[in-house]
């Protein structure tokens, strides 16, 4: 589904990703772990098309298409979703209104007609219930006045409505206490599907206790330096990153 080859990315002339290779097949959960400053968030942002990054080499293919040639909204239309580390507050625009615009934007990209308003509301209500989200949050401005946990849950809720093929979770665990973390992880697990892949970017392994990955990759100095099964995350938790960095150096 997602094939990244020799990806090189700069920010303000400074190389961040230096030849990253990654292959995520359909239906799998891949975790990206790594020390601070290794390029984890850069990878998440580049996949979603955030402005401010310069790709200097390599390629990213998504279902065979050149993802890097697409605008952020086209990527969403193709089925890419980024759950933000810091979800953005948008005053004056309510959650449901934004979601409807988003869903219709994606449907338009796929040549589908706009969704029927009644059908949409039913879907949304069913999904709020499934995620244990308060219905009152739906009519509040996007993320405004939400607690940290509510913001992250709102990201997962948006994901559940937009039904992406590839969900990139950027440090979704940051700032969450253990209860909120479990609720968010349960939401993600509900959405696991043979046709859907997840790229879970995280600094700590505790998230992976709840969202169990198929493969764990270690990102350091802009490259994947080691990949392994789930147990690799536990080893990193116990031993840190230094032994790996030294082995590479």
- Residues numbered 70 to 89 that lie near another protein (CB under 8 A) are 71-73, 75-77, 81-82, 84, 87-89
Sign, CA dihedral 73-76-78-83, equals: positive
Instruction: Give 33 or 103: the residue with its C-beta nearer to another protein.
Output: 103
Instruction: Give 10 or 186: the residue with its C-beta nearer to another protein.
Output: 10
Beta strands in the chain (DSSP E): 2-11, 14-24, 29-33, 54-62, 65-66, 80-83, 90-94, 141-142, 166-170, 197-201, 215-220, 223-228
Distance between CA atoms of residues 99 and 6, nearest Å: 35
Instruction: Give 35 or 175: the residue with its C-beta nearer to another protein.
Output: 175
Distance between CA atoms of residues 186 and 247, nearest Å: 36
- Binding mask 51-70 toward another protein (x if CB under 8 A, else -) reads xxxx----------------
Instruction: Out of 3, 23, 35, 102, name the contact with another protein by CB under 8 A.
Output: 102
Q: Does 137 bind another protein (CB under 8 A)?
A: no
Return residues touching another protein (CB under 8 A).
Answer: 48-54, 71-73, 75-77, 81-82, 84, 87-93, 97-99, 101-103, 105-106, 109, 141, 158, 162
């Amino acid at each position: 589904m997602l094939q990244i080859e020799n990806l090189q990315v700069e920010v303000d002339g400074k190389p961040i990703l230096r030849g990253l290779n990654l292959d995520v097949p359909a239906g799998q959960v891949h975790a990206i772990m790594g020390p601070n400053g290794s390029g984890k968030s850069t990878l998440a942002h580049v996949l979603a098309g955030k402005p401010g990054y310069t790709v200097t080499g390599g390629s990213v293919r998504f279902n065979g298409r050149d993802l890097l040639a697409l605008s952020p909204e086209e990527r969403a239309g193709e089925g890419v979703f980024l759950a933000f580390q810091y979800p953005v507050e948008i005053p004056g625009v309510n959650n449901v209104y934004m979601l409807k615009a988003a869903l219709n934007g994606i449907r338009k990209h796929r040549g589908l007609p706009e969704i029927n308003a009644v059908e949409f509301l039913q879907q949304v209500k069913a999904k709020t219930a499934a995620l244990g989200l308060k219905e009152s949050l739906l009519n509040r401005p996007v993320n405004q006045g939400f607690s940290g946990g509510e913001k992250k849950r709102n990201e997962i809720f948006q994901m559940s409505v937009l039904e992406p093929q590839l969900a990139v979770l950027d440090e979704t665990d940051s700032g969450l206490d253990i209860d909120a973390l479990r609720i968010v992880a349960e939401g993600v697990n509900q959405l696991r599907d043979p046709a859907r892949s997840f790229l879970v970017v995280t600094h700590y392994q505790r998230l992976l206790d709840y969202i169990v990955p198929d493969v764990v990759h270690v990102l350091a100095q802009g490259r994947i330096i080691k990949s392994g099964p789930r147990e690799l995350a536990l080893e990193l938790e116990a031993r840190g990153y230094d032994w790996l960095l030294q082995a590479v150096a």
